[in-house]
Chain A
């Protein structure tokens, strides 16, 4: 499942839904890993984040990487839910869950998908704060993290 939403969501409910779908899928799953990204307030420096996507293109690009991760890590399934629009500090920006037969593949695939989403997926992120607004571009660390999987 890949989805973009402009509405706040409950990551716990998403994880429950993902696990329930796996239980009904037939393939035996022994491990589910998940990641929840939350907007930081940066001690008052960030009052809101604004996430822009390219509808249609963004989901398709994520889909290509997620399908490759399915075979690379032998996943039983995945879920990626990403916010777009204005996001307040403390709200969830992204939820990623991966399922596999054993834990290592689920952990690694989740890590890999998050590294991809941070610096290579088609999103553009603007930080709003008391000092104005600025477009956030991937840090050297983000780029190095994503390159670990090349």
Chain B
């Protein structure tokens, strides 16, 4: 699976895009795996206003993940 980070999350991690294979079965498992590699990033993913999208659709709660999916972590947004 491909994991994408946006905004300040990619600065904290030092990467914007990374493969995780085999894919963890659930979003919570993916976050736990990321936190085990990088505790600061793990805490940031649980920070206020950070949302997740799977295959370019926002998700709520702990969803199941399929092999080959794209997971994006989205910190608070600001445009214009």
Residues of chain A having any CB pair with chain B under 8 Å: 37, 51-52, 54, 56-57, 60, 82, 93-94, 114, 117-126, 135-138, 142
**17 A–B contacts from the bound complex (CB under 8 Å):** A54-B4, A54-B6, A54-B56, A54-B72, A54-B74, A93-B79, A94-B79, A119-B77, A120-B77, A122-B74, A122-B77, A125-B78, A126-B7, A135-B7, A135-B75, A138-B78, A142-B78
* Bound Cα distance from A115 to B4, whole angstroms: 26
> Is B11 close to A, CB under 8 A?
yes
* Residue pair A57, B77 in contact (C-beta under 8 Å): no
* Residue pair B74, A137 in contact (C-beta under 8 Å): no
* Bound Cα distance from A37 to B75, whole angstroms: 23
| Residue of A57, A117, A120 most packed against chain B (CB within 10 A) | A57
* Residue pair B7, A124 in contact (C-beta under 8 Å): yes
> Is B14 close to A, CB under 8 A?
no
Q: Which residues of A contact B49 (CB under 8 A)?
A: 137
* Residue pair B4, A125 in contact (C-beta under 8 Å): no
* Bound Cα distance from A118 to B80, whole angstroms: 5
Q: Which residues of B contact A120 (CB under 8 A)?
A: 77
Q: Which residues of B contact A117 (CB under 8 A)?
A: 79-80
B interface, over-half SS: loop
Residues of chain B having any CB pair with chain A under 8 Å: 4, 6-8, 11, 49, 53, 56, 72, 74-80
Q: Which residues of B contact A56 (CB under 8 A)?
A: 56
Q: Which residues of B contact A124 (CB under 8 A)?
A: 6-8, 75, 77-78
A112: shortest Cβ distance to chain B, in Å?
13
* Residue pair A93, B4 in contact (C-beta under 8 Å): no
* Bound Cα distance from A6 to B56, whole angstroms: 21
* Other-chain residue from B77, B78, B80 in contact with A37 (beta carbon distance below 8 A): B80
* Other-chain residue from B6, B53, B72, B77 in contact with A121 (beta carbon distance below 8 A): B77
**7 cross-chain pairs, A with B, having the tightest CB-CB distances, nearest first:** A123-B79, A124-B7, A57-B56, A135-B8, A117-B80, A118-B80, A117-B79
